Amino acid sequence: MPQSIIAMFPAIVSSSSSLFPLLAFVLLILCHSSLTGAQNLDQICDTSGSFADNSTYQSNLKLYLSTLPSKGSVSGFLKEAVGQVPDKVYGVSLCRGDANASECRACLDKASLDIQQICPYNKGAMIYYDYCLLRFSSQNFLYSTDNQQVPKYNSSSVTQVARLSQLLHLLLSSATDWAANSTKRFATGEISNFTSEFPTIYVMVECTPDLSPSDCSQCLQSLFDPLPTDMVGKQGARVIGVRCIIRYELSSFYRIPSMVKLTAPLEDATQLPWGQSAH
């Protein structure tokens, strides 16, 4: 048994073996939480419309959400409608490009349950996690490029604000080009030689795969060109939208090799050419 778990529940472990089923249940919950990306990052409950218990809209919504984890985890992206107007439910879900099928399904399963509790009678809602996002509405937004974004950022800042902004713009632009021209509309990237304290900047960008290359590029660029004021100089930040997402950190946060790799001039160097490689 992991020592960290023993430390968390010493009374259970030291008491009686009959309590081990309870501990096994706790372990199951902890594992599920790690797969789904723990708590939701944010949610938006649309207050423009509501539905009643046992209504046709509620039935359609429950049907959509009950089949979402299995359908949405096949490719990591699902766009569908359930029912007939005026009780039709429109939904979009997207899993992170580096999430495997199990992580995607677990995240969508949690999203489907949480969104019904957080926005119980709203005809529209969005919820975001580290590994997935979900939006549904009574209005047809399936072919809209409206992003309805939510910014999140680290409260800690760097001292080299201008350098961070310059390198981020270069790296996010390169990653955007990669993502917009890939099938999954997803890319990771890194740039080295930021500072001695934080040697490397890491980014991840993603669009829903149904966007055209130009729409994906425009969506992503709108998130960082310019970067939202509250995010400037922060040690990490993300902007989450239903159509596209950007994220950067000063430590690696994805599990696949970086698709775009850049090398910046050293801090004290004069103007030098940029070194770049893409893999």
Interior/surface letters 130-164, b for 16+ CB within 10 angstroms, e for the rest: bbbbbbbbbeebeeebebebbbbbeeeebebeebb
The parts of the chain modelled with pLDDT lower than 70 are 1-38, 268-279
Length of the chain, please? 279
pLDDT at 268: 66
Is the pTM higher than 0.85?
no
End-to-end CA distance of the chain: 40
Q: What percent of the chain has pLDDT over 70?
A: 82
Task: Determine how β-strand 200-207 pairs with β-strand 260-263.
Answer: unpaired
pLDDT at 266: 87
Same fold, 42-137 and 150-278: yes
Q: Which CATH class is domain 42-137?
A: alpha beta
Using omega within 30 degrees of 0 as the cis cutoff, is the peptide bond preceding 226 cis? yes
pLDDT at 107: 97
pLDDT at 267: 77
- Catalogue the long-range contacts made by 250-254 (C-beta closer than 8 Å, 24 or more residues apart): 250/158, 250/194, 250/198, 250/200, 250/201, 250/202, 251/198, 251/202, 252/190, 252/200, 252/202, 253/202, 253/204, 254/98, 254/188, 254/202, 254/204
Domains in the chain: boundaries: 9-36, 42-137, 150-278
- Cα–Cα distance, 25 to 30 (Å, whole number): 9
pLDDT at 269: 52
pLDDT at 119: 98
C-beta atoms surrounding 210 within 10 Å:
16
- Cα–Cα distance, 216 to 246 (Å, whole number): 12
What topology is assigned to 150-278 in CATH?
Answer: Killer Toxin P4; Chain A (3.30.430)
Instruction: Point out which residues pair with 152 in neighbouring strands.
Output: 238
pLDDT at 112: 97
